[in-house]
Amino acid sequence: MTPPDDRQGSYGVPYPGTGHDAFGTPGAGQGQSYGRPQYGEYGDPYGRPLPQHGRPNQPVAPPPAQVPPAPAAPQAAEEADSGPLIRPFAMTGGRTRPRYELALEALVSANVDQARLATLLPEHQRICTLCATEVKSVAEVSALLSLPLGVARILVADLAEAGLVAIHQPAAGGESGNQPDVTLLERVLSGLRKL
């Protein structure tokens, strides 16, 4: 295909190879080269000769000192302190709510024989072991085992449903309607005074 004499294609765009690009400047291969400017002898953009190192006058750093390798630490101690190896939602099977509602101050006690304890998941074993020695609240179980509160509530509810722990829910309102228990308030007040 040969371009017409006006060397313009449709819509005023020049034909390829006519010597001018779309911006009116000479095309590639004609006229002057528009490549990178030529630099000095070693590539300095300002035309200065570079030192023999190939870089402008920069101090040369001494070679790095060799550091002896750190002694290998026992792996078991590190793994024990690092916490659980799985995500909290995986411990609960993806559930975000317990099957029945547990108050934070609900007390948990466990009485599980060793044969049954060996068949449980590790998280359930830790809760049963913790609550077998002393009665703990759900909030204490969460804090002592470094579990999120929602995860601890779900795990404790699962154990209660299986009959492995006993839950002692606090009184909802006592015998006097929605009024809190006076003995509970006195215990809280005495605890605050001891602080």
Residue 123 lies in a domain: yes
Residue 61 lies in a domain: no
Mind listing the pLDDT tens digit of every residue in the chain (195 residues)?
Answer: 555 555 555 566 555 555 555 555 555 545 555 555 555 555 556 656 655 555 555 666 677 777 777 766 555 555 555 555 666 666 666 666 777 788 888 899 998 888 888 888 888 888 999 988 899 999 999 999 888 888 888 888 888 888 889 998 876 655 555 667 788 888 888 888 887
pLDDT value, residue 24: 56
Range of the domain at 100: 87-168
How many domains, the chain?
1
Residue 150 lies in a domain: yes
Q: Which of 77, 112, 105 is nearest to 167 (CA)?
A: 105
Residue 184 lies in a domain: no
pLDDT value, residue 181: 75
CB 135 within 8 A of CB 108: yes
Euclidean distance between CA atoms 142 and 151, whole angstroms: 8
Residue 100 lies in a domain: yes
Residue 117 lies in a domain: yes
The CA distances from residue 179 to 45, 73, 102, 170, 186, in Å, are 85, 57, 20, 13, 14
Q: How far apart are the first and last CA of the chain?
A: 98
pTM: 0.47
pLDDT value, residue 43: 56
pLDDT value, residue 140: 92
pLDDT value, residue 136: 92
Residue 180 lies in a domain: no
Residue 25 lies in a domain: no
pLDDT value, residue 66: 76
